[in-house]
Structure 1
Amino acid sequence: MRKKALLAVMMAMVLLLSGCALVVKDEAVDNAQEIIRLGDQVFTKKDIKEKVEEQLYNMYSLYSMYGYSFDVTDPSNIADAQESVISSLKEQLALDAKAKELGLELTEAELEEVKAAAQTDRDNIVASAKSYVDDAENMDEAALTEAAEKMADEAGYTLESYIESETRTRLNAKVREYAIKDVAVTDEEIKADYDSKVEADKTSYEGKAGSWASAANNGSTLYYTPAGVRRVKQILTKFKDEDQTAIDDAKKQVTDANSAISTAQAKIDAAQETLDVEGATEEEKAKAQADLDAAKQEKDDADKALLAANEAVTAAQDKAFANLDEEVDAILASLDAEGADWQAIMDEKNQDPGMKSNEQGYAVSADMTGFDSAFVEAAMALEKPGDHSGKVRGTSYG
């Protein structure tokens, strides 16, 4: 999935950053074009491409984490990413120049902290990359780690890049500390700034609970909460692997049957159109009638296949849920026990990675479409803080 996403991003970049110039240039010369310069620091067209690709992939990953789609080839998304990247790079060049002007440097202790933080980030990305290594199940740990490290390096996630990023982050903080060291902000100014942000968010989200929830789940800092939204945590118990496979196979049968129905209907329409044409020969009509009869039979067969496929999905899901009953019942019993600690139980039992990275819980509203409808319905049915639902049968994961 990651490779496909990156390929799509790269294809989109070719279309975007080549602009309207359809004449093919020497690639090296084209990539070396200066886009941003400040003093002796330069970002080329190639640099911009790579950073826009990275931002688009990060957005794709973030949206996927919460069950949303993000089209990395959409011209609007690409334009937004390009504008954001160029703006950020301009700001970074200005901060770098100021740090150099002020002679700001990291202490030896800070450099050691940078290296430790960078190593942790590098180790985490390598651990994550292991799940994307081809033929991983046939490798020992050393070979798998080596392959994952190579994959991370090729994607630009090197230890050196993390050290550079962390160093720059800390120098930026020093520049900001210098800039505000003599600034005094009054309580009135703080309140006025806060109130202005509240009013801005109220204008944006009043009566738009779904938009607010989406923004909250995307990590936006929000200063106003409209009616109709709530934060909800869940404990997901995922289907067993074999049950998930059975469900996926049955759903593919549904997709195939729907495709067959569409194909048959197109044949029916084409044959009927020929029969309705004035002046068609008897031979043409006879052939069209035969095609129509065959297409109708084809559609009848596809309709039956769809019915059987839907029944197979239901049966596979029923079996999958039955195989979770004992485990889920035990979790519910622990939640209902006197003195139960929801957070501790969730930390131990939850199998939803998105939930683990969202300490406040998911933002939910009744009109949301990005989450499983069963989850949204159960979330909105809770009456007060601290309540929990019973079993909720999701349609996708458990």
Structure 2
Amino acid sequence: MRAALRSRAIRTFAITQFLLEVQFWFPVWLIYLLDLGFPLTTAVLADGVFRIVSVVCEFPLGVVADLIGRRRTYLALAGGTVLTFAAITQIRSGTVLFGAWVLWGVLWALASGAASTYLYELCAAEPDLSPAKAFGLVRAVGNVSVLLSLLAAGYLYEVDPRLPFAVTAAMGGVAFLLALTLPEIRESRVVSTFSSVVADIRWAAADARVRRAVWLGALLLFFGWSPRILFQPLALELDLTPRVTGWMYAAFAAASVLGGLVAGYVDARRRRVAVTTAFVLVFATLVATSQAQWLGPFLFLPVMGLGYALGTTVLEVFTNEVAPRAVRAMVFGLTACLGGAGIAVARPALGVLADNRSTPFAFGVWAGVGLVLVGLAVPAIRRMPRTHRPAPTQRNRQLAAELGMRVNASTDQRREN
């Protein structure tokens, strides 16, 4: 990863991601709304609106991101962070609450693939730079940001309930200024017509590697993200104090840092093993937590975080490699849309199970679902290529089409003769 650190663009990008990945809001957003006087039902409805908006916007915003380019999308992400979290600090009514949460859902959808596609193309601009190591570095830096912000969130909230959101907005502003110094990616072409967008989508859909990347990414997102709704109920059932609960989340984030670093050393030959390991670790920790919940917070859940970070980082690199450049963000949007649709159903269902039965029971049920998901993932994992073969450029596709036309013409002429 030293080569990645030697690159000024990658160093700047990593710092910018550190600022954008903070999650001061995560442990306190529900408490914040309740302290403002909103009933729990309103808060839950706002979260449901957020989920619906994010899922609906994933695919179209992916198309938009491909149209406007990587750097502009990334700047929009940073600017949107400032606007969204500044709006949250000004919530005084239900209208502003739902407006802020809709804006947050749009921002969440825009974030899908924005950093990943930009980082990959920054790496492509430096031939000696390994994308896997750059992704591992940036993922680790992002998880360090999550870790530190989770630890600090409670202390900031005690000073002023609006402070976690205000600090997030301020850091987004600094990220925007840093992003202005990042290099512009020279696009091979600009998509300007609907027909060209359709042609690129059809080309990507015809590529089996792209379909596998989307399938595996959506499955792992659905499988690994959904059970996070059970972390808080698990802490409550074990009578953990808020401070200990914070350390539980910190342990999960610390393990995710390790997962990102490990992913940096996974080349194309080891991808099958890495992705398989990710699914197996998530599945095993679900089973283990359902049987020995008292070991969950500081043993099983961190192992889940390590496996999830390892798998998602490896699949991000793989998806960037196989997706055509012109629709790369759209492919990530599709992946997030498919996984997010499942999450929107699974998370409330798991919450209800934990409330009506028990958290270990909910973990066990999701492990049963996970057995099916792992079975669905295995065929795609087995067909992942062991060598790195980038997606064809538009020029290569044109040459291939012309060659195909010439071959067909030559065949027809021989038949006539």
TM-score by length of 2: 0.21
Larger relative contact order, structure 1 or 2 (CA cutoff 8 Å, min sep 6): 2
Structure whose CA Rg is larger: 1
Greater share of residues in helix: 2
